[in-house]
Chain A
Amino acid sequence: MNIWDWYYVWEALPYLYRGAVITVQATLIAFAIALVLGLAFALIRQSNNRLVNGAMAETVEFIRSTPLLLQIFFVYFVGPQFGIVIPAWVAGIGVLGIHYAAYCSEVYRAGIEAVDGGQWEASIALNLSRSRTWSRIILPQAIPPIVPGLGNYFIGMFKDTPILAAIAILEMLQQAKNFGAENYRYIEAITMAGAFYLVFSLIASAIVQAVSFWLNRRYHLQ
């Protein structure tokens, strides 16, 4: 038995390709959800209303502190028993996005709280409206420095997509495992899946760096 057999490499390619498409799609859509929802979470947490920001803080804490696999399992397999039927794709990407939104919201919060208090005072002094203060003064200073932090979660999420296999979404790693299970050859398929994760992660981190650089220049922060 050869350790590495090129025959299986070509055989496994179509499987991995199908899986890779799902993996990339899931990551991009879920991360878009995480970015938007995370910002919303962070803004709600800045509310002056104790009740509102307290509830938001607890929600974020709850989402962050329970395993992603469990959340996905619950939504997909337990939900229907209470009449909540969500298709696998929506449930998987939705939960992935919401889970990471909780992480991202904390990154946003760090950025927001790092903006100098004088900026708020200046905004009040200039009689800027609250929404204008946020969109023109605070966020443009808060977000560029935290892009590398958000990028971390982007790459992390990419490598968390195999959890979707629990609800029968055949992403790349599961495709590789299925290929292995059918042919009893795992080394080629798993290695190729690993190589793809590496390549995609490197590309993603390059993109994150470029975005970070561009944003910092755009807002004259550095």
Chain B
Amino acid sequence: MRRAILKGMAALGMAALTLGSYAGSASAQSLLEKIKNGDTIRIGFSNEIPWAYPGDNNAPLGFVNAITLDILEKMGTTNVEPIVTEWGSLIPGLQAGRFDIITGGMYILPERCRNALFTEPLGTFADALLVKNGNPDDLHSFEDIRDKNLKLVTGAGYNTVKNARNVGLTDEQIMQVAGPAEILQAVKAGRAAGGGGTYFTMKEFADKDDAVELADPFTPPVIDGYPGLAFLPSQQAEVDAFNAALKEYLGSDEMLEAVKEYGYTKTNLPDGTTTAELCAG
């Protein structure tokens, strides 16, 4: 009897070993091969309307996701597994292998380039400032907030934090919260004079909530942000393949049709700035 059990355990052990080696060979496949084989690709994004956000059952919505899905389809797969996480967890999640591509719409920045590999820009965008209706503090730039010694609320990990610091806001003046919902609420509750974030996210709030509006006119701290898809630093081949596909795709009627519902227009198309230039700072 005891021998039988031992035998059974040995058999189980062998089975586990073989299974393990299968799993090993599967993960040894490169991301590019996986895409070409039609395997499931995991895309990571956070809840940033209309860039990339989850719909019903975590369906990947937003224009960065729409672009990604179209490109992936051209390259060979329609299977994606959306993984939604907070903004600040996107790069750590990529590094930890929780997903294969960041489709959150991350701006290409020098510091980010050191830890992730970006495709060529998907478009050009600027920050916007969310204020209470009527703009009671008369704010038209981050400098106004600095000079009037008020508070700016933005998301922890947003590049708005850096933009605001560059303008000269102190850390006391920059309130860092978890995400868009807190930014909106902080502005509505008067916890901060203005909410900083990307134009689309802020415009969405201004459109949907009667208590807030966009500061207008507004001079953004940096003229433009250029979002790209982010890969692990070791995946140059994948990035090259994406860039080749993007070149054809960006600006095509097919693309403009896919991103129209999210408010992306021809004016947002890339202006020729390259990722290499952006990474150099």
Report chain B residues within 8 Å CB of A180.
88, 92
- Are the C-beta atoms of A181 and B175 separated by less than 8 Å? no
From 98 to 148 in chain A, residues with beta carbon under 8 angstroms from any chain B beta carbon are none
The answer to whether the Cβ of B185 comes within 8 Å of any Cβ in the partner chain is: yes
From 154 to 209 in chain A, residues with beta carbon under 8 angstroms from any chain B beta carbon are 165-168, 170, 174, 177-178, 180-186
Report chain B residues within 8 Å CB of A184.
91, 111-112, 114-116
- Are the C-beta atoms of B186 and A85 separated by less than 8 Å? no
Binds B, one of A25-33, A51-59, A76-84: A76-84
- Are the C-beta atoms of A183 and B189 separated by less than 8 Å? no
Binds A, one of B47-55, B121-129, B176-184: B176-184
Query: A186's contact among B92, B176, B178, B189, by CB below 8 Å, is which?
Result: B92
The answer to whether the Cβ of B167 comes within 8 Å of any Cβ in the partner chain is: no
Q: In chain B, what residue has the closest Cβ to A190?
A: B92
Q: How far is the CB of B264 from chain A (nearest CB, A)?
A: 26
Q: In chain B, what residue has the closest Cβ to A185?
A: B115
Q: How far is the CB of B78 from chain A (nearest CB, A)?
A: 31
Q: How far is the CB of A168 from chain B (nearest CB, A)?
A: 4
Q: How far is the CB of A149 from chain B (nearest CB, A)?
A: 32
The answer to whether the Cβ of B190 comes within 8 Å of any Cβ in the partner chain is: yes
Q: In chain B, what residue has the closest Cβ to A165?
A: B178
Give bound CA distance, A180 to B156, whole Å: 10
Report chain A residues within 8 Å CB of B161.
181-182
Interface size class of A (residues with CB under 8 A): 20 to 34
From 141 to 162 in chain B, residues with beta carbon under 8 angstroms from any chain A beta carbon are 153, 156-157, 161-162
Given contacts A85-B190, A186-B92, contact A77 B182 (CB under 8 A): yes
- Are the C-beta atoms of B175 and A168 separated by less than 8 Å? yes
Q: How far is the CB of A45 from chain B (nearest CB, A)?
A: 34
- Are the C-beta atoms of B189 and A181 separated by less than 8 Å? no
Give bound CA distance, A183 to B177, whole Å: 18
The answer to whether the Cβ of B134 comes within 8 Å of any Cβ in the partner chain is: no
- Are the C-beta atoms of A77 and B157 separated by less than 8 Å? no
- Are the C-beta atoms of A178 and B178 separated by less than 8 Å? no
Give bound CA distance, A165 to B179, whole Å: 11
From 182 to 239 in chain B, residues with beta carbon under 8 angstroms from any chain A beta carbon are 182, 185-186, 188-191, 233
Chain B, residues 91-110, CB within 8 Å of chain A (1/0): the string is 11001000000000000000
Give bound CA distance, A88 to B189, whole Å: 12
Report chain B residues within 8 Å CB of A165.
156, 178
Give bound CA distance, A81 to B189, whole Å: 6
Give bound CA distance, A78 to B116, whole Å: 38
* A contacts, CB < 8 Å to B: 1, 73, 76-81, 85, 88, 165-168, 170, 174, 177-178, 180-186
15 inter-chain pairs at a CB distance below 8 angstroms, sorted by A residue, are A1-B95, A77-B185, A77-B188, A80-B189, A80-B191, A165-B178, A166-B178, A168-B175, A168-B177, A168-B186, A181-B157, A182-B161, A184-B112, A185-B115, A186-B95
